[in-house]
């Protein structure tokens, strides 16, 4: 593709006014809805896997577990929300019902719920407790409702689709607004040995009729997509676009590498959400206390998810008491400390900015040491940049290449060996339309 000869830059830190030509720009390709734009800005939030598996040391429960195994002795959802907020997370997504069919709220449409357990004498409701805790802390809440149900006797029959919609209605009309509804593609056998034919069209229409602002996640969206792995790592090339025609959730989804990169000319804006657990497994198991990722490892995942234009969904499973374990909490606080320190000082904040046909030069007052540069595109105009190059030097007339990259999207963080530089150039080599960057900033990350 021919290099474009016009480059518009809107630097939040570097310009006090927007170039007037910006407002004449037309959108290029699919663009996000206002709800998706708000979702992009959340960046990082927690996932909570909690239920009978916490007490049976399983990852996928069988659905035949005695409800009484669920008995957190000191549950404190305020602790979860308090730690989430302190870690910088903008919300929490709770597994209200996993594949075993056990509901963390007293659903009228199941006999396998907290109501049948001895916890709080059958009067407990984890969804309510967490909803109240999130509101108290000023963070948002999302919900995971597995369509697969290994307990419900109607699973595998047409009636189950109606029941699933009713369970969604209970949650989406009874606990306030959620920012995200999370679906995975698991579809195994129920207690009658049959698999369910999910009516996702009805599921989606029903969910949005209850809460129109919802971001619905699955491997094909419609609003956010799985990245093809559960390692929390998005591809260095990451388009917010995806083609979904002819694909289905689960076994009929696009190939994992496609989900990881998106589609160059995808017809739908379906951005990437990277899900990963802070531990080896998704539910709490005592023997995995030694597998908790360090704060440094979490920051590396942040760079490879949020730093590649997606969102990071980090699973932190409560223990059998119903609390975040000390190891997990310490790692989260360490991550927050590392992240805050990394982005504390924008080395480009007082730079002189020179725009050329297809590049931006940053002239600093004096040379600085740096090893990270952050770029942003203004997504409401579409995702445009295909390839770029970062150059630097200590003379305005002599630059050398520091790094090369492909897509930018909502945020791109490029790291490289520490350089001592006074001049930096961002060269856009290929773009679908006039590139519109929303921010360029530089940092020195500690090793």
pLDDT value at 359 more than 70? yes
Question: Average model confidence (pLDDT) for the chain?
Answer: 94
Q: List, for residues 173-222, the tens digit of each pLDDT value.
A: 999 999 999 998 899 999 999 999 999 999 999 999 999 999 999 999 99
| Structure confidence at residue 26 as a pLDDT band (50, 70, 90) | confident
CA separation for the pair 165, 366 (Å, rounded): 62
Looking at residue 185, its pLDDT comes to: 86
C-alpha atoms less than 13 angstroms from C-alpha of 176 in its C-beta half-sphere: 15
Cα–Cα distance, 199 to 160 (Å, whole number): 10
Fold of the CATH domain 8-29+345-443: Jelly Rolls (2.60.120)
Q: Compute the distance between CA of residue 227 and CA of residue 78 in angstroms, rounded to an integer.
A: 30
Helix axes 77-86, 326-342, angle to 10 degrees: 20
Assigned superfamily of 34-342: Glycosidases (3.20.20.80)
Would you state the pLDDT for residue 371?
A: 98
Q: How confident is the model at residue 356 (pLDDT cuts 50, 70, 90)?
A: confident
Give percent above pLDDT 70 in the chain.
95
Q: What is the pLDDT of residues 409-432, one digit of tens each?
A: 999 999 999 999 999 999 999 999
Residue 396: its pLDDT value, please?
Answer: 87
Average pLDDT over residues 328-355: 97
Sole residue written with tokens 């739908």: 268
Q: How confident is the model at residue 12 (pLDDT cuts 50, 70, 90)?
A: very low
Give per-residue pLDDT as tens, 269-280. 999 999 999 999
Identify the pLDDT of residue 257: 97
* pLDDT score recorded for residue 24: 55
Please compute the mean of the pLDDT values over residues 112-130 and round it to a whole number.
98
* Residues 262, 242 contacting (CB under 8 angstroms): yes
Residue 357: its pLDDT value, please?
A: 83
Q: Domains of the chain: which residue ranges?
A: 8-29+345-443, 34-342
The CA-atom distances, in angstroms, between 256 and each of 133, 228, 317, 424 are 36, 4, 26, 36
Q: What is the mean pLDDT of residues 298-302?
A: 98
Mean pLDDT of 299-315: 98
Q: Is the pLDDT of residue 6 over 60?
A: no
Residue 9 pLDDT grade (very low, low, confident, very high; cuts 50, 70, 90): low
């Amino acid at each position: 593709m021919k290099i474009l000869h016009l480059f518009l830059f809107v630097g939040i830190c570097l310009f006090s006014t927007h170039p007037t030509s910006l407002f004449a720009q037309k959108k290029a390709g699919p663009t996000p809805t206002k709800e998706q734009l708000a979702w992009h800005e959340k960046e990082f939030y927690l996932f909570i896997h909690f239920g009978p598996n916490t007490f049976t040391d399983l990852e996928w429960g069988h659905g035949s577990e005695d409800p009484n195994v669920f008995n957190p002795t000191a549950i404190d959802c305020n602790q979860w929300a308090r730690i989430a907020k302190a870690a910088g997370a903008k919300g929490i997504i709770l597994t209200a019902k996993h594949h075993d069919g056990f509901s963390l709220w007293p659903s009228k449409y199941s006999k396998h719920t907290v109501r049948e357990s001895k916890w709080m004498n059958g009067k407990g409701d984890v969804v309510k407790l967490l909803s109240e805790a999130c509101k108290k802390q000023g963070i948002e809440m999302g919900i995971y409702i597995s369509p697969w149900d290994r307990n419900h006797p109607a699973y595998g029959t047409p009636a189950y689709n109606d029941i699933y919609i009713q369970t969604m209605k209970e949650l989406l009309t009874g606990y306030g607004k959620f920012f995200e509804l999370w679906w995975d593609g698991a579809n195994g056998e129920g207690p009658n040995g049959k698999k369910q034919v999910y009516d996702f069209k009805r599921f989606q229409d029903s969910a949005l009729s209850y809460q129109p602002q919802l971001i619905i996640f699955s491997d094909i969206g419609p609003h956010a997509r799985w990245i093809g792995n559960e390692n929390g790592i998005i591809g260095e090339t990451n388009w917010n676009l995806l083609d979904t025609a002819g694909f289905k959730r689960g076994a009929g989804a696009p190939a994992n590498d496609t989900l990881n990169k998106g589609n160059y000319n995808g017809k739908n804006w379906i951005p990437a959400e990277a899900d990963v657990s802070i531990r080896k497994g998704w539910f709490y198991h005592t023997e995995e206390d030694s597998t908790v990722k360090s704060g440094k490892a979490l920051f590396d995942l942040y760079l490879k998810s949020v730093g590649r234009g997606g969102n990071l969904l980090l699973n932190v499973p409560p223990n059998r008491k119903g609390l975040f374990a000390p190891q997990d909490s310490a790692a989260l606080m360490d991550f927050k400390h590392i992240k805050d320190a990394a982005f504390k000082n924008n080395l480009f904040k007082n730079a002189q900015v020179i725009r050329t046909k297809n590049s931006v030069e940053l002239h600093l007052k004096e040379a600085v040491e740096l090893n990270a540069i952050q770029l942003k595109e203004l997504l409401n105009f579409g995702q445009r940049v295909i390839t770029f190059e970062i150059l630097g030097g200590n003379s305005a007339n002599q630059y050398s290449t520091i790094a090369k990259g492909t897509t930018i999207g909502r945020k791109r963080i490029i790291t490289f060996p520490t350089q001592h530089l006074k001049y930096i150039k961002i060269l856009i080599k290929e773009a679908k339309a006039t590139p519109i960057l929303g921010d360029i900033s530089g940092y020195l990350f500690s090793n």
